[in-house]
A = this chain, B = another copy of it.
Amino acid sequence: MSPRKLEIHQVAATLMRQKGYANTTVRDIASEMNMEAASLYNHIASKEEILANICFQFADQLEQGILEINDIYFNAKEKLKMAITQHILLLTQDLDASYVFIHEWKYLTDDKKVEFIARRDVYEKQFRDIVVLGEKEGSFLEVDQKFAVITILSAINATIEWYKPSGSLTPQQVADKLTNFILTGLSNPHH
């Protein structure tokens, strides 16, 4: 991807986070790039291509990360902690693209949408494997797995709603907070 094309994707992601995919027009993107809408089409094939690129690039990174984690032998707690950490690192690294990945993929159409859902399912499956491993080890409570994975991922993804890179928390600290919360909950065991 050429530098100019990459720039377009970044600008588009920012706008789509602000206004949503459907309300972000190619003229908006072009304007922010100081060019005409038609000129965008020297770089991109369609508006949806931008959306697809952002979504799938993010999916690629997440998937690659969790596959590596599950490839190497760790116990479930370590794996969960690593998975959460890499997920948070990716999210906080580009909040605009993250937002599009989490919320705007719905506006993909036909094949692309089907493909995206399949890719997301792969990721969730890898996550579920960690939960299953924990149950086998006895280190995790037995839970409804689909419920658990969706709940955990939603809690993790909520990070983009409040995280400010200019704030005092590092991404690693956020990951630690979340890991803690997901493992031990809110309740004080010494009460």
Taking Cβ atoms with an 8 Å cutoff, the residues of A that contact B are: 20, 22-23, 77, 80, 103, 106-107, 131, 134, 137-141, 143-144, 146-148, 150-155, 157-158, 161-162, 177-178, 181-189, 191
Contacts and interface: CB of A to CB of B under 8 A. Distances in A.
5 contacts: A20-B22, A140-B186, A143-B181, A144-B177, A182-B186
A103 B147 CA distance: 20
Task: Specify how many copies of this chain sit in the oligomer.
Answer: 2
A58 to B, nearest CB: 18
Given A150-B162, A151-B158, A140 B182 contact: no
Would you call the interface of chain A mostly helix, strand, loop, or mixed?
helix
A169 to B, nearest CB: 8
B185 A148 contact: no
Contacts of A143: 177, 181, 186
B185 A184 contact: yes
A153 B146 CA distance: 18
A181 B185 contact: yes
B162 A146 contact: yes
